[in-house]
Amino acid sequence: MTLSFGVMLGFFQRAIPTASFANAEIKDPRLASNATRYSIKDTVLGAFSVFFMQYESFLEHQRQMHSRHGQDNAQNLFGLTQIPTTPQIRNILDEVTAKGLFRVFIWIYQSLHRDGYLKPYHCLGGHLLVTLDGTQYFSSQTIHCECCSSRTHKNGSITYFHSAILPVIVAPGQPQVISLAPEFITPQDGSGKQDSEVAAAKRWINNYASEFKNQPITLLGDDLYSRQPMVEHCLDSGMNFIFTCLPESHTALYDWLNYLENIGEVKTLETFQWHKRSKEIYRYRYVNHLPLRDTQPALGVNWCELTLTRQSDGKVLYQNAFVTCHELTDKTVQSVVSAGRSRWKTENENHNVLKTKGYHLEHNFGHGQHHLACFLLTLNLLSFLFHTVLHLVDKPVPSNPLAARHSSRIISRYPQPHQVFPV
């Protein structure tokens, strides 16, 4: 069954309780005695349509829904029976946890894997690269809910905020990233401490490592992740890693590195590439089996560094270092560094796209008192995933003039903001 909008929407609907899917992931929070004019299906899909069609707000969505074209759009595309109002959507979804939608990410990943669409993302001998990186998507000094984190300032004021780990599959040279289920950075039951990005990343690994048991995974992360407890957690879960490693946070490792450098044990490799009219020098340094910390037991990791220099003026264009469990040789170090460098895609092609390219990640679509902010973020991520998958699986429009008559059958690769689909 080839992935299409209809197939993905079917996955989405499997997560919503209906007569056909009574054991769905999402549970209707309303009691039977409550007024239930609008079904949970219409409520969830009505909210999802806001993000899929890339409206700037629920208000703009409601204006569109009041038109004939908007109603036809919602009914034909999403199978809505009745369209709830914005307050009704917010009130109902505030009581629904977002975890009920997380299986949709897995079902789509499994279909992409089965149909071979992830092969261009394979590297390092068949691994998929998954970045773990947190981002903040809400902040206020007045509005807050039970899922908010908080930060107390020196003057006594408090800032409330929401943030989450947004894992994505990346690969060098691939322009799209593929979203996976998020993990919210939020107060945990029974803990008096603020939640952290690393703790959330560990929870994500615990929840999803088994989903990749037949697919080697290498996790990517910044310097925050390259600590022994996190690295051990990755390895114990059957996952590999390439994490940024900075000198100021790993003094023991770099002391060993300096010692090995002095006795000639650190290996180097130089290559060059032409960029436009400039020759760029790639200088790799690497060594295997360095202790990650100064206290015992210390885990042995492999370290590598790239310094990219423009030959004409000696300007350093890029420099970074990584620790990894992948063995480093002259044949592998370039691929490992290339994989590690692709972590930036989570910023440029995930966070920035979600914030500036029509998804309005930081816009407050609704906050609520319980789960609303987290639920709406999940819907936004699913809309981004739907659009990405349609890019990957959609056939290109034929350039042959003789075939142009057939091009009208091929829909837009993803809906532009406020696009209305014909009846």
Give pLDDT, residue 423.
27
Give pLDDT, residue 186.
92
- CA diameter of the chain: 78
Give pLDDT, residue 361.
87
Q: Residues 300-311: what's their mean pLDDT?
A: 97
Band of pLDDT at residue 35, cut at 50, 70 and 90: low
DSSP strands (E only) in 64-133: 128-131
Give pLDDT, residue 78.
80
Helix axis angle for 40-52 and 58-65, nearest 10°, is 110
Q: Residues 112-129: what's their mean pLDDT?
A: 96
Euclidean distance between CA atoms 93 and 408, whole angstroms: 38
Q: pLDDT tens, 8-22?
A: 999 998 888 664 555
Question: What is the DSSP secondary-structure string of 206-228?
Answer: HHHGGGGTTS-EEEEE-GGG-SH
Give pLDDT, residue 34.
53
Question: Tokens 């009208």 appear where?
Answer: 408
Q: Residues 394-408: what's their mean pLDDT?
A: 46
Give pLDDT, residue 84.
78
Percent of the chain residues past pLDDT 70, beyond the cut: 85
Tell me the torsion sign for CA atoms 190, 192, 195, 198. negative
Q: Tell me 395's DSSP state.
A: P
Question: Tokens 């006795």 appear where?
Answer: 263
Give pLDDT, residue 373.
93
Give pLDDT, residue 71.
57
Q: pLDDT tens, 59-107?
A: 777 666 666 555 556 667 787 777 778 888 899 999 999 998 999 999 9
Q: Of 169-173, 351-355, 377-381, give the lowest mean pLDDT range.
A: 351-355
Q: Residues 228-238: what's their mean pLDDT?
A: 97
φ and ψ of 417, to 5 deg:
-50, 130
Euclidean distance between CA atoms 207 and 214, whole angstroms: 16
- The answer, yes or no, to whether residue 420 has pLDDT greater than 60, is no
Q: Tell me 119's DSSP state.
A: G
CB 146 within 8 A of CB 184: no
Question: Tokens 């054991």 appear where?
Answer: 23
Arithmetic mean of pLDDT over the chain: 86
| Measured CA angle at 90 (ends 84, 92), to 5 deg | 80
- Does pTM surpass 0.95? no
**What are 180's two structure tokens?**
């996976």
Strand duo 158-165 + 128-131: pairing: unpaired
Give pLDDT, residue 22.
52
Q: b/e string for 370-383 if b means 16 or more Cβ within 10 A?
A: bbbbbbbbbbbbbb
Give pLDDT, residue 54.
85
**What are 333's two structure tokens?**
């170090």
Q: Tell me 99's DSSP state.
A: G
Tell me the torsion sign for CA atoms 102, 107, 113, 118. negative
- The answer, yes or no, to whether residue 161 has pLDDT greater than 70, is yes
Q: pLDDT tens, 312-338?
A: 999 999 999 999 999 999 999 999 999
Band of pLDDT at residue 41, cut at 50, 70 and 90: confident
Band of pLDDT at residue 232, cut at 50, 70 and 90: very high
